C-alpha cells in the first residue's frame, strides 16, 4: 500500500511540474487587446518558475518569473487596430497559445440592470427591434464581448469563469444591449474591432462596487459579509462590497480605454449629496485600481419611472437625476447622457425601457467626439443656464443648445411656482424680440395661475416626459431653479 501511495504522489508531482501556465479566463481565444498601448497579460505558474510570452505581431519574447505566490504579470506593446488575427504563446516549459486575438478599442460596461439587460431583453422587458439586430449582427463580427458572471464574494477575486464571444446572430442576443449599441456605432464609425467587458449586476447600488477600505472610511455600511447579508437579507442585489469583489475585481488587470456606467435606480432616496459624492469616490477608486490614469467615464442618467410606490408625480427620482448631474461636474473626464425622452408614456411602471439603441448611441457620440477626433459630432444635451423674470413671464436660457431650442412652440414639461411654492403646468415657447435686451432670444414661460413667478422646473418628477431638444436633437436635462 505504501508503495502505491508513493507512486501516486510521484505521479502527481510529475504532472504538477509539467503543468501549463494558468491564465485568467478573460485572457483567452477571441479576446480584444487595447490597441497601441502597453497591455497587461498575467497569470499563474509554479513559484519562481520562468514564463516566456511570445506575441505573433512582432515575435517579441518577454520573460518573467512567477513570484512566491505563483503570480506573474507582463506588459506587451500592442499593434494598431486591425482585423488580422493575432496569437500569444505562454511557455513555462509547456507552451499554451491563445488564438484569434484582435487589437482594437476596449470599453467596460458597468452598472445595474439597464446596463446588464441583453439585446434579447429580460422576461417581460423586450428590447426594441430585436429581430433586426440579430439579422444585422452579421455586419459586426468585429465586435466582441465578455460577460463576467454576476457573483458575490467576501474577498476580492482575481479570476472569474468567462469567455470572449464574437458577435453573430447566435451570440448577439446575450450582449449588453446598451453596450452593443455603443459598440455597433463605434465599429461603424472607426471600422476597427471593439471589445466590451461586461461587469455589472442588476439592482446594485453604487456602494455595491466600493472597496472595503472606502466603505469603512466614507460610509456606515457594514463590511463583514455576514453583517452585509443580514442588512440586505431580502434584496441581495443591494449588498455592498460583495458584488465588486466577485464581479468587478477580476477585470482590474485588464488594459481598457474607458468605462461606461448605467446605474442609480437602487440609490433613489439617498439623502443630500450622498450619491454624487459616492459616485466621485467610485470613479476615483476604479481609476486607481486600473492604474491607467484618468480614463474616460461616461454614464447614463436614469430614465423616468414611477418611484415612491408608483407615484409618477413624486420627485425622488428627479433628485437622483440631479445628483447624477452634480456628479458629472465633480468627476474629471466624465460626461452624462440624458435619456429623459427614451421612454414611452405607458412605461411609467417599466424600469427597463425598451429603447436601448439611442442610449448606446449617445454614449458613442460622447466617446467619438471626446476620444476619437469626431469634432463635428454633437454629443451634449442642453442644460439650464440662467433665468430672468419680467412681470408674469420667466425667460430662461440654456447652455449647450447648439443654437437651437426646439420645438418653436408648445414646449412641454415646464412648471412654474410663485412664493407659495406650488407648481403649476406652464406654457412655454421660443421667444425672440429684436432689441428686447438680454431676454431677446430665450424660452418664455407663463402660467395663468401664477402672476408672480419665482421658480421654474422642467420634468422634475419621477415620471415626466418633456419635448425640448437642442440642435443635436438631444433632450434637455431635467432641472429646477429652486432648492425646496
**Backbone φ, ψ for residue 389 (5° rounding):** -110, 125
Which DSSP category does 328 fall into? H
Closest CA to 247 of 115, 63, 424: 115
Per the DSSP assignment, residues forming a β-bridge with 200 are: 111
- pLDDT tens digits, residue range 119-160? 999 999 999 999 999 999 999 999 999 999 999 999 999 999
Q: What is the pLDDT of residue 8?
A: 41
Say yes or no to pLDDT of 335 above 80: yes
Confidence of residue 2 (pLDDT cuts 50, 70, 90): very low
Lowest mean pLDDT among 164-178, 236-250, 262-276, 423-437: 423-437
Q: CB 429: neighbour CB atoms within 10 A?
A: 14
**Mean pLDDT (whole number) for 391-401:** 96
Q: What is the pLDDT of residue 19?
A: 57
Q: What is the pLDDT of residue 17?
A: 42
Q: Are strands 95-111 and 258-262 parallel, antiparallel or unpaired?
A: parallel
Q: What are the start-end ranges of the E strands in 294-344?
A: 297-300, 334-337
Average pLDDT, rounded, for the chain: 95
- pLDDT tens digits, residue range 30-58? 999 999 999 999 999 999 999 999 999 99
- pLDDT tens digits, residue range 435-479? 656 557 899 999 999 999 999 999 999 999 999 999 999 999 999
Q: CB 308: neighbour CB atoms within 10 A?
A: 14
Q: Are strands 297-300 and 334-337 parallel, antiparallel or unpaired?
A: parallel
- Cell representation of residue 456: 421654474
Contact in structure between 16 and 49 (CB atoms under 8 Å):
no
Task: State the Cα–Cα distance between residues 418 and 189, nearest whole angstrom.
Answer: 49
Contact in structure between 223 and 213 (CB atoms under 8 Å):
no
Per the DSSP assignment, residues forming a β-bridge with 71 are: 44
Task: State the Cα–Cα distance between residues 340 and 344, nearest whole angstrom.
Answer: 10
Which residues lie closer than 8 Å to 401 by C-beta, 6 or more apart?
Answer: 382, 470, 471
Task: State the Cα–Cα distance between residues 394 and 411, nearest whole angstrom.
Answer: 14
Q: CB 330: neighbour CB atoms within 10 A?
A: 13
Q: What is the pLDDT of residue 140?
A: 98
Which residues lie closer than 8 Å to 423 by C-beta, 6 or more apart?
Answer: 415, 416, 417, 455, 457
- Cell representation of residue 114: 439597464
Closest CA to 114 of 238, 202, 181: 202
The three-state secondary structure class of 195 is: strand
Task: State the Cα–Cα distance between residues 463 and 343, nearest whole angstrom.
Answer: 9
Lowest mean pLDDT among 9-23, 108-122, 181-195, 202-216: 9-23
Contact in structure between 46 and 70 (CB atoms under 8 Å):
yes
Contact in structure between 199 and 148 (CB atoms under 8 Å):
yes
**Backbone φ, ψ for residue 13 (5° rounding):** -65, -40
For 259, counting Cβ atoms within 10 Å of its Cβ (0-12 exposed, 13-18 middle, 19+ buried), the class is buried
- pLDDT tens digits, residue range 197-247? 999 999 999 999 999 999 999 999 999 999 999 999 999 999 999 999 999
**Mean pLDDT (whole number) for 335-353:** 98
- Helical residues (DSSP H) of 2-56, grouped into ranges: 2-17
pTM score of the predicted model = 0.95
Residue 474: left (phi > 0), alpha (psi -120 to 50), or beta?
A: beta
- Cell representation of residue 322: 440631479
Amino acid at each position: 500500500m505504501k508503495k502505491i501511495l508513493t507512486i501516486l504522489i510521484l505521479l502527481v508531482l510529475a504532472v504538477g511540474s509539467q503543468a501549463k501556465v494558468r491564465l485568467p479566463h478573460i485572457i483567452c481565444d477571441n479576446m480584444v487587446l487595447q490597441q497601441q498601448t502597453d497591455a497587461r497579460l498575467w497569470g499563474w505558474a509554479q513559484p519562481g518558475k520562468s514564463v516566456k510570452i511570445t506575441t505573433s505581431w512582432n515575435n517579441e519574447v518577454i520573460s518573467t518569473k512567477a513570484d512566491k505566490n505563483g503570480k506573474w504579470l507582463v506588459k506587451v506593446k500592442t499593434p494598431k487596430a486591425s482585423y488580422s488575427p493575432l496569437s500569444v504563446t505562454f511557455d513555462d516549459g509547456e507552451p499554451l497559445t491563445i488564438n484569434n486575438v484582435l487589437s482594437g478599442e476596449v470599453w467596460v460596461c458597468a452598472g445595474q440592470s439597464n446596463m446588464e439587460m441583453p439585446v434579447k431583453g429580460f422576461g417581460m422587458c423586450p428590447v426594441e427591434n430585436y429581430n433586426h439586430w440579430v439579422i444585422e449582427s452579421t455586419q459586426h463580427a468585429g465586435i466582441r464581448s465578455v460577460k463576467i458572471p454576476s457573483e458575490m464574494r467576501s474577498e476580492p477575486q482575481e479570476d472569474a469563469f468567462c469567455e470572449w464571444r464574437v458577435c453573430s446572430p447566435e451570440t448577439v442576443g446575450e450582449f449588453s444591449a446598451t453596450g452593443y449599441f455603443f459598440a455597433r456605432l463605434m465599429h461603424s464609425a472607426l471600422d476597427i474591432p471593439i471589445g466590451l467587458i461586461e461587469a455589472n449586476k442588476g439592482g446594485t447600488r453604487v456602494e455595491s462596487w466600493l472597496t472595503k477600505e472606502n466603505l469603512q472610511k466614507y460610509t456606515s455600511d457594514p463590511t463583514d459579509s455576514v453583517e452585509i447579508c443580514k442588512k440586505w437579507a431580502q434584496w441581495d442585489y443591494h449588498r455592498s462590497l460583495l458584488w465588486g469583489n466577485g464581479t468587478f475585481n477580476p477585470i482590474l488587470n485588464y488594459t481598457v480605454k474607458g468605462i461606461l456606467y448605467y446605474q442609480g435606480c437602487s440609490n433613489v432616496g439617498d439623502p443630500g449629496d450622498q450619491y454624487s459624492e459616492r459616485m466621485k469616490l467610485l470613479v476615483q477608486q476604479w481609476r486607481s485600481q486600473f492604474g491607467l490614469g484618468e480614463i474616460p467615464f461616461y454614464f447614463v442618467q436614469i430614465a423616468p419611472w414611477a418611484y415612491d410606490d408608483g407615484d409618477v408625480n413624486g420627485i425622488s427620482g428627479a433628485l437622483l437625476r440631479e445628483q447624477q448631474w452634480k456628479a458629472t461636474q465633480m468627476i474629471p473626464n466624465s460626461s452624462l447622457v440624458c435619456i429623459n425622452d427614451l421612454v414611452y408614456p405607458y412605461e411609467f411602471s417599466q424600469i427597463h425601457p425598451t429603447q436601448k439603441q439611442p442610449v448606446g448611441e449617445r454614449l458613442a457620440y460622447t466617446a467619438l467626439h471626446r476620444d476619437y477626433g469626431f469634432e463635428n459630432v454633437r454629443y451634449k444635451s442642453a442644460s439650464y443656464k440662467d433665468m430672468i423674470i419680467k412681470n408674469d413671464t420667466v425667460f430662461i436660457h440654456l447652455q449647450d443648445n447648439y443654437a437651437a431650442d426646439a420645438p418653436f412652440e408648445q414646449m412641454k414639461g415646464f412648471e412654474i411656482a410663485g412664493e407659495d411654492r406650488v407648481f403649476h403646468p406652464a406654457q412655454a415657447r421660443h421667444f425672440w424680440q429684436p432689441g428686447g435686451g438680454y431676454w431677446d432670444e430665450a424660452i418664455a414661460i407663463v402660467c395663468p395661475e401664477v402672476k408672480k413667478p419665482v421658480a421654474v422646473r422642467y420634468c422634475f418628477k419621477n415620471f415626466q416626459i418633456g419635448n425640448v431638444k437642442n440642435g443635436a436633437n438631444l433632450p434637455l436635462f431635467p432641472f429646477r431653479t429652486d432648492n425646496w
